[in-house]
Chain A
Amino acid sequence: MADVVFLALSGLIIASAILALEARELIYGAIWLAISLMGVAGVFILLGAEYVAMFQVAVYVGAVVVLIMFTIMLVHRESGRIVDEEGPGRLGRAGAFVAGLVALTVAVATILLTPVSPAAPEFYRVALPELGRLLASSYSIALVILGLLIGATVIGALTLAKVEREGEPDGTVE
Chain B
Amino acid sequence: MVNELQPLPTVQEIVTLALSIITSRTFLEIIVFPGFLNVMLGAAFLTWLERKVIARVQLRIGPLYAGMWGILQPIADGVKLMFKEMIFPERADAKLLMLCALGLMLLAAAPVVPIPFGDGLVIADMDVGLIYVFAVISLFPTVILLIGWGSNSKYSFLGALRSLFQQVAYEIPMWLSVLGIIMLTGTLNLAKIVEAQQKVWFVVPQILGFVVFFTAVLAELERTPFDLPEAEPELVMGWMTELTGVAFMVGFLAMYTKLYLMSALITALFLGGWSGPAILPQPVWFLLKTFLVASSVVIIRGSFPRVRVDILLRSAWTRLLLVAFANIFVTVGVIWLGLGGIWRI
Which residues of A are found within 8 Å of B164, using beta-carbon distances? Answer: 66, 70
Indicate if the CB atoms of A54 and B142 lie closer than 8 Å.
Answer: no
Indicate if the CB atoms of B146 and A54 lie closer than 8 Å.
Answer: no
Interface bracket on B: 20 to 34
Q: Tell whether A69 is near chain B: CB-to-CB under 8 Å.
A: yes
Contact partner of B135 (CB less than 8 A), chosen from A57, A69, A129, is: A57
Contact partner of B186 (CB less than 8 A), chosen from A27, A77, A80, A129, is: A129
Query: Please, how many angstroms separate the alpha-carbon atoms of A34 and B141 in the complex?
Result: 13
Indicate if the CB atoms of B138 and A70 lie closer than 8 Å.
Answer: no
A66/B149 contact (C-beta < 8 A), A54-B135, A58-B135, A128-B188 known:
no
Report whether over half of chain B's contact residues are helix, strand or loop; otherwise say mixed: helix
Query: Please, how many angstroms separate the alpha-carbon atoms of A51 and B146 in the complex?
Result: 27
Query: Please, how many angstroms separate the alpha-carbon atoms of A96 and B132 in the complex?
Result: 36
Q: How far is the CB of B148 from chain A (nearest CB, A)?
A: 8
Query: Please, how many angstroms separate the alpha-carbon atoms of A128 and B188 in the complex?
Result: 9
Indicate if the CB atoms of B138 and A58 lie closer than 8 Å.
Answer: yes
Q: How far is the CB of B315 from chain A (nearest CB, A)?
A: 22
Indicate if the CB atoms of A57 and B139 lie closer than 8 Å.
Answer: yes
Query: From residue 32 to 85 of chain B, which have CB atoms closer than 8 A to chain A?
Result: none
Contact partner of B128 (CB less than 8 A), chosen from A27, A54, A65, is: A54
Indicate if the CB atoms of B139 and A54 lie closer than 8 Å.
Answer: no
Which residues of B are found within 8 Å of A31, using beta-carbon distances? Answer: 146
Q: Tell whether A62 is near chain B: CB-to-CB under 8 Å.
A: yes
Q: How far is the CB of A111 from chain B (nearest CB, A)?
A: 29
A62/B127 contact (C-beta < 8 A), A34-B142, A128-B188 known:
no
Indicate if the CB atoms of A128 and B146 lie closer than 8 Å.
Answer: no
Indicate if the CB atoms of A69 and B145 lie closer than 8 Å.
Answer: yes
Q: Tell whether A73 is near chain B: CB-to-CB under 8 Å.
A: yes
Query: Please, how many angstroms separate the alpha-carbon atoms of A66 and B149 in the complex?
Result: 13
Q: Tell whether B134 is near chain A: CB-to-CB under 8 Å.
A: yes
Indicate if the CB atoms of A50 and B127 lie closer than 8 Å.
Answer: yes
Query: Please, how many angstroms separate the alpha-carbon atoms of A93 and B139 in the complex?
Result: 34
Q: How far is the CB of A50 from chain B (nearest CB, A)?
A: 5
Indicate if the CB atoms of A62 and B126 lie closer than 8 Å.
Answer: no
Q: Tell whether A139 is near chain B: CB-to-CB under 8 Å.
A: no
Query: From residue 85 to 128 of chain A, which have CB atoms closer than 8 A to chain B?
Result: 128
Q: How far is the CB of A116 from chain B (nearest CB, A)?
A: 28
Residues of B within 8 A of A (CB): 126-128, 131-132, 134-136, 138-139, 141-142, 145-146, 149, 157, 164, 168, 186-188
Residues of A within 8 A of B (CB): 27, 31, 34, 50-51, 54-55, 57-58, 61-63, 65-66, 69-70, 73, 77, 80, 128-129
Lowest 8 A-B CB distances belong to which pairs? A62-B138, A58-B135, A57-B135, A54-B131, A54-B135, A58-B138, A50-B128, A66-B141
Using A57-B136, A66-B141 as known contacts, list a sample of 10 further A-B pairs with CB atoms less than 8 Å apart, ordered by residue number in A. A54-B135, A55-B135, A61-B142, A66-B142, A66-B168, A69-B145, A70-B145, A73-B145, A73-B157, A128-B127
